[in-house]
């Protein structure tokens, strides 16, 4: 498991724990400080618990002799504060888990693990949120890797017609069209790739395309 995967796994637990610590600190601080000061302690503890909590405990030790009058609703206010924090975090987590970036991230992790079905599923979810040529290209690549040649061709065509600027689409299409014995279409795609800007630079795939063009009847 990579460090980023581990962080994504434990981040919700860390956030909930920070919220609980923040709620406790608000409850404790309300006994000793003004309301705005208590909230300042609590909010700081939510974002920097490892720094603020030890500092707060040190302050309590130094101010043992502090005496303040009891404050009504001492438990109600921190409880409400904690509930609001957890609700905000829950809504954020729910929405973030269904964002384009979240699906792309999960697709990348699935690709690294060679989980082809999950990779395809995540890219399909991305397209539901952002239907653009680039995302069709990503889905096409995943479909091609999984052996869904005809579906991959269709997605590459959509990306191509939508204006996706990646010249490699032509090479990928040529290779896929060759697989399904659509030779004339494959030759046309290899020609487009051989004449593209990409092939003005050194790229061994360009040589493959030129070799294929030199023998268009090759089976």
Confirm if 80 and 65 have CB atoms less than 8 A apart: no
Q: What is the dihedral of CA 160, 163, 168, 170, to 10 degrees?
A: 40
94 CB burial (10 A radius; 0-12, 13-18, 19+): exposed
| Residues with Cβ within 8 Å of residue 93, at least 6 apart in sequence | 12, 15
Burial of 91 (0-12, 13-18, 19+ CB in 10 A): exposed
Question: Which among 12, 17, 75, 81 is positioned nearest to 49, based on CA atoms?
Answer: 17
pLDDT tens readout for residues 39-74 = 888 888 888 888 888 888 877 776 665 554 444 555
Residues of the chain with pLDDT under 50: 1, 3, 68-71
Q: Report pLDDT for 70.
A: 45
| Domains along the chain with CATH numbers | 3-97 (no CATH), 100-214 (1.25.40.10)
């Amino acid at each position: 498991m990579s460090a980023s995967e581990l962080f994504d796994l434990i981040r919700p637990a860390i956030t909930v724990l920070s919220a609980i610590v923040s709620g406790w600190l608000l409850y404790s601080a309300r006994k000793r400080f003004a309301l705005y000061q208590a909230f300042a302690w609590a909010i700081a503890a939510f974002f920097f618990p490892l720094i603020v909590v030890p500092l707060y405990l040190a302050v309590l030790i130094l101010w043992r002799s502090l005496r303040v009058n009891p404050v009504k609703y001492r438990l109600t206010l921190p409880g409400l504060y904690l509930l609001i924090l957890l609700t905000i975090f829950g809504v954020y987590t729910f929405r973030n888990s269904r964002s384009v970036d979240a699906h792309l991230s999960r697709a990348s992790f699935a690709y690294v693990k060679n989980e082809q079905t999950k990779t395809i599923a995540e890219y399909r979810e991305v397209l539901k949120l952002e239907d653009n040529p680039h995302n069709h290209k990503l889905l096409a690549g995943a479909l091609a890797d999984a052996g869904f040649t005809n579906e991959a061709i269709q997605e590459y065509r959509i990306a191509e017609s939508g204006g996706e600027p990646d010249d490699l689409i032509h090479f990928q299409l040529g290779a896929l069209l060759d697989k399904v014995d659509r030779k004339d279409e494959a030759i046309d795609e290899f020609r487009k790739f051989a004449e593209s800007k990409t092939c003005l630079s050194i790229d061994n795939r360009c040589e493959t395309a030129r070799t294929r063009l030199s023998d268009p009847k090759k089976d």
